Structure 1
Amino acid sequence: MKPALAALSAVALSAAALFFADSLHPVWWLMWLAPIPVLLLATRLKALPLFGAAFLAWAAGHLNVVSYYRLVQIPYALIAVIVIAPAILFGLSVLLYRLLLLRGHALAAAAAFASFWTLCQSLIEYVGGSYGDLAYTQMDCLPLLQLAALTGMSGITFVIMLLPAAVAAALSVRYKRTVLAVTGMVLVVVLGFGISRLRSDGDDGPTVVVGMVVSDLKPNLLPEKPEDSSRLLKQYAEEAVKLGRRGARIIMLPEMVAVVEPEHIAELDQLFGQTARAANARILVPIIHPTPEGRRNEARLYDASGRLEATYWKHHLVPVLEDRTRPGTELTLLRDPRSTIGIEICRDMDFTPLARRYGREGAGLLLVPAWDFVVDDWLHSRMAFMRGVENGFHIARLAKQGRMTLLDTRGRVRMEHRSDAAPFSTLLAPVGLGAQPTLYTRWGDWFIAALALILCASLLDGLRRRGSV
């Protein structure tokens, strides 16, 4: 096959695989294959054409995100950066792979490719959050997902980039036993750990019955006029009492139930104080609360006696959509003899440091009201679930225009309903309270340092002497 045709075919194959592997509904096993066609070009193309092929494959494969980002009102200029920057990073990773592979060091090439990509991706996430991390493509591969309890997402990303690089290297160089043997050992250990962890009980310990209620009717998405807000809040209160009578001891409403002006906060507290007493349950009521200092995306929790027990302010706000909202900085922890319960709101769960703070405080259950955008309901809920695997806590997540979900510390969904039943959707089921602290909770991103050592060792080994292809 002519080089130009081979390059175009490789770009098309990798782009097509990426389009479905890294999407709102990812096909997890395609991510293990997607880089291989482009990596096979490493010994056939010069550096600049190879970089162009890698860049084009990655950028074309991720055009699937454009319509979604426009839906959430991300400007086109920022969308271009979101698509182009990772494509450049992929091109640089492939060039590094080529450099070491042409020197005959297949294992060093594969390890450097995977560690360089993962390191760069991890550094980017400290600023912009974890959306787009390749680890999220593996949410349906539960054995691999358990690696997050040891290494966080970086371990998962490293493994899914190491495998295609090792396969491509084994197909490209003369001596392939070492790279295949080492990669095979890594997979056996990782998947063996995951299977073992899944066999252990992620639901042991005490439980609590959680009730959820949400309305996706258009007039109920975010009423701002006082009379509309009052109507909807009273309707939610009535539904909450019904859930309490059915046995719910924690009742959740979705993010941004209504805008409640400062002069009506006392009425809100009175309404849900009475509701909590009638339901004999804690009730979490998320609202938009305008204050003289700025709007707050706020969750107010009332205990079973009707007292305002805690208030949580969302930390990580959605760009553009929440530009007028002020972020919070504090954790909200509810401690009792059986467990410690924490609260986050929607996009907060995209950021690993905040969830790890809850893990270090011993949280056994996180309550997460959210608001999704229908098309991203599966992916955004699963992104939140990664935090539970990383830190060993259970999660109760309720999203407007999304899903109501309960899951255990292994990332297994225990109960899930869609939010689009009219006029109200409800869910009622027990969820665990027991905390199961993980290595990642204690040590944090230790694997990032390990990746830096792997990258340095791969470069030293590959550049020390020339091998043969």
Structure 2
Amino acid sequence: MMPWLWLAAGAALLPFTFLQTTLPLAAWGAPVLLLRFTRTVRARWALPALVVASAAGTAISFRGALSGDQIAVLAAGGGVLGAVPYALDRLLGRWLSGLPRTLVFPAADVALAFLFSTGDNGTMGHPVGTQVGNLPLLQSVSVAGLWGLAFLIAWTAPVANEVWERGFDLRAAGWSAAVWACVLTAVLLLGGARLVFDRPAGPTVRVAALAPNRAASDAAMAARVVAGPRGAAERAELRRRYFTPMLDDLLDRTVTAARAGARIVVWSEAAAYDFAEEGAAVVERARAVAREERIYLQIGVVYLLPRELSPYVEIRAIMIDPGGTLVWNYLKTSTPVGDGNVPGPGVVPIADTPYGRLATVICYDANFMPLVRQAGRAGADILLLPSSDWEPVTDALAQQAVLRGVENGMSVVRPARRGTSMAVDHQGRMIGYEASWFTGDARTTDHAMVITVPVQGRLTYYGRWVGDAVAWLCLAGLLAMAATAGARRFRPAAPRSGTAGQAPAPAVPPPGGAA
């Protein structure tokens, strides 16, 4: 009966490990309980039950974020994939012992997440995001990226089970618990030391992060301005009724922010709209404001293509310097479900300014570690991350933004339409937070976050040298452990002296757990 209670407790924690309504301790506790279940119940019962639990956890985590059919597909995939590390722990762990046995589960967990991070969603919703509030622990991602911290969290489960299986006798657990404890202690101590001795210092710059007027933005969406081919008269009416008022408001607020001391003004993703064949006027008006106010101005524009085309929009972040010159015109790289956007070439723009080296990507792009690492390798100091969310996923997207900043030693400024705007320094400290889109009056016009941002970042081991090496090591280590377990499983045992004709015993008996 007890194993099924462990399954129930672990399954209850799963929805709190990623995406929305996250609890930091759930990411550590759920695998401990679920691994205990799979190690003590026969595999023919344990693994199907775990698939169901993982599917349910996935479905609950995505509640309200997608349609029912989409959630059903994700839940089915999440259920099967979520059970894979537990199945490999069960399969390979029988033929390994000591420290190597504890490494199967975390290596499988990281390798699987790494392989799927190369797909359309990157690291979106990864449980490591739940740890962004633990600053000493968070500093580890500046060395090993998300994958190092993911390994440490997953490693906790088999180590805890080794101790559990031996009646909580630490001496009987051997080196496994001692090595894990030493690694965790070192991560926390070194992370704490980095926070103390490498604090942001030096000059700062005042940055204004603007999202569009909520009422105007909601009205444009309700009118489905991106739908259908448009004639000239209809385009003119849409521009008059929706596009121009939104642009006027943003430019007025940009001027106000500049005159209040902002030297960089960055708009959210999809702050302004226009038709691609007629969109030069938006940039020209922004250039005039940047030139008059002597600011760096990055605007976020959605250019509507003819609807009969697919994709049918271009999502751009356009940077203009104080002289009115275009610094970059970045096209969003990622293609989230529902955006319908033309994918960009995946080259992160970098520019040296009096306020540090600036870089930008757009919203969902921050889920892709190799893409953002371009800025880390180039030594960017501030990452401008214009975004447009929807409420169920805004926290998960913001978590990934924090991780990318610490991984690459950059401050991150993230203005969000239909989401939570935030800014952090290169160590993940929150220096700005603005959630009025959800908590304020629908008529609120000033969705703005004005912050003071350090102009000097840090080169990090992850950004400059390590990259995804930890993930590749986990994949290679998993293959090596599978080969070792296979060799032990099928290696004939030498017959004992004087027992010719008897069946050989297994070379390595399965340590602990039910067969």
TM-score surpassing 0.5?
yes
| Matching residue of 2:493 | none
Offset at residue 209 of structure 1 (A): 0.9
8 Å Cα contact 1:391/1:440 also seen in 2:
yes
Distance, in Å, in 2 between the alignment partners of 1:158 and 1:313 is 34
Aligned match of 1:50: 46
1:409-448 to 2 correspondences below 5 Å: 409-420=426-437, 421=440, 422-441=444-463, 442-448=465-471
Deviates more, 1:413-422 or 1:321-330: 321-330
Structure-2 residue corresponding to 1:185: 182
- For residue 291 of structure 1, report the CA deviation from its aligned partner: 5.1
Q: Is the 8 A contact 2:59 2:74 kept in 1?
A: no
2:212 maps to which residue? 215
- Structure 1 residue corresponding to 2:284, chosen from 259, 270, 280: 270
Which amino acid in structure 2 is aligned with residue 392 of structure 1? G
| 1:301 corresponds to 2:319 | yes
1:208 to 1:440, Cα distance in 2 relative to 1, 3 A: same
Alignment of 1:351 with 2:368, yes or no, is yes
2:230 aligned partner: none
Greater shift in the superposed pair: 307-316 or 239-248:
307-316
SS at match of 2:340: coil
Query: What root-mean-square deviation, in Å, do the aligned CA atoms of Structure 1 and Structure 2 show?
Result: 2.4
CA distance in 2, matches of 1:183, 1:403: 36
Going from structure 1 to structure 2, the CA distance change for 1:125 and 1:451 (only over 3 Å counts) comes to same
Question: Aligned match of 2:55 in 49, 55, 59?
Answer: 59
CA distance in 1, matches of 2:293, 2:64: 39
Once the two structures are TM-superposed, the CA of residue 40 in structure 1 deviates from its matched residue by: 1.9
Distance 1:342 1:393 in 2: 10
Determine which of 260, 268, 293 is the counterpart of 1:246: 260
Measured against aligned partners, the alpha-carbon deviations of 1:258-298 in whole angstroms (never above 9, x if no partner) come to: 32124543322332222223332111111112357853101
SS in 1 for 2:427: coil
Which digits, 9 at most, give the CA deviation of each residue in 1:119-151, with x for residues without a partner? 011011011311132211222222222111111
1:96 lines up with 2:96 in the alignment: no
CA distance in 1 between partners of 2:395 and 2:343 (Å): 28
Aligned length: 460
Equivalent position amino acid for 2:105 in 1: F
Q: What is the rounded CA distance, in whole Å, between the counterparts of 1:461 and 1:107 in structure 2?
A: 14
Q: Does 2:31 align with 1:31? A: no
TM-score, structure 2 normalization: 0.83
User: SS of the counterpart of 1:341?
Assistant: strand
Match of 1:233 in 2: 247
- Closer, same or farther in 2 for the Cα pair 1:274/1:103, shift >3 Å? closer
Distance 1:461 1:176, change over 3 A: farther
The structure-2 alpha-carbon separation of the partners of 1:419 and 1:201, relative to structure 1 and needing over 3 Å to count, comes to: farther
Of the three residues 143, 147, 151, the one matched with 1:150 is 143
Report the identity percentage: 24
* Structure 1 range deviating more: 372-381 or 328-337: 328-337
Check the 8 A contact 1:106/1:173 in 2, yes or no: no
Equivalent residue, structure 1, for 2:232: none
Work out whether residues 249 and 281 of structure 1, in 8 Å CA contact, stay in contact via their aligned partners in 2.
Answer: yes
Shift of the 43–407 alpha-carbon distance from structure 1 to 2, 3 Å rule, reads: closer
Alpha-carbon distance in 2 for matches of 1:104, 1:263: 64
Q: Distance in 1 between matches of 2:206 and 2:299?
A: 17
Whether the 8 Å contact between 2:107 and 2:477 is mirrored in structure 1 is yes
* Pick aligned residue for 2:114 from 106, 116, 122: 122
AA aligned to 2:334 is H
Structure 2: give runs of 5+ residues left out of the alignment.
Answer: 226-237, 489-506
Closer, same or farther: CA 300–102 of 1 in aligned 2, 3 Å:
closer
Equivalent-residue separation in structure 1 for 2:379 and 2:368 (angstroms): 18
8 Å Cα contact 1:370/1:400 also seen in 2:
yes
Q: Which of 145, 152, 162 is the aligned partner of 1:159?
A: 152
Give 1:105's match in structure 2, choosing from 75, 85, 97.
97
| SS class of match (1:40) | helix
Q: Is the 8 A contact 1:211 1:426 kept in 2?
A: yes
CA distance in 2 between partners of 1:405 and 1:206 (Å): 20
Contact 2:302/2:316 (<8 A) preserved: yes
Of 396, 404, 409, the residue aligned with 1:392 is 409
Report the equivalent of 1:368: 385
Q: Cα deviations across residues 101-126 of structure 1 (Å, max 9, x unaligned)? A: 54572432221011111101101101
Task: Provide the C-alpha distance between the structure 2 equivalents of 1:43 and 1:449, rounded to a whole number of angstroms.
Answer: 27
Distance 1:302 1:173, change over 3 A: same
